[in-house]
Amino acid sequence: MEEQDHAEEQEESQEEEAPQLAFEDSDHEGSEMGEHIMQRLRYFENLSEHQAEHIATLSALLVTHGVAPPAMPHFPELKSPVGNHDPN
């Protein structure tokens, strides 16, 4: 009986020690908007970790499919929609 009480006390102390995430609301067991924000943060964190890979992949796709040249050329003859802007 004492072992069971001791085990229950350990479980309760572990539950109390569990970190509470910022978006969690103890009365509502988590906020939907908070979870949405956390998902977006995880998405952007993952995106930033692999940003160079994403850029290289997209650039390769553009070049492969003939949508863009391998290097961006300079087009001084193009006119700006707000006037003749010389980028040089």
- Longest CA span, the chain: 88
Residue 47 to residues 25, 41, 62, Cα–Cα distance (Å): 28, 10, 20
- 19 or 34: whose pLDDT is higher? 34
Q: Indicate the SS3 state at residue 66.
A: coil
Q: What is the pLDDT of residue 83?
A: 59
Q: Mean pLDDT throughout 4-23?
A: 61
d(CA 22, CA 38): 9
DSSP-derived secondary structure letter, 27: T
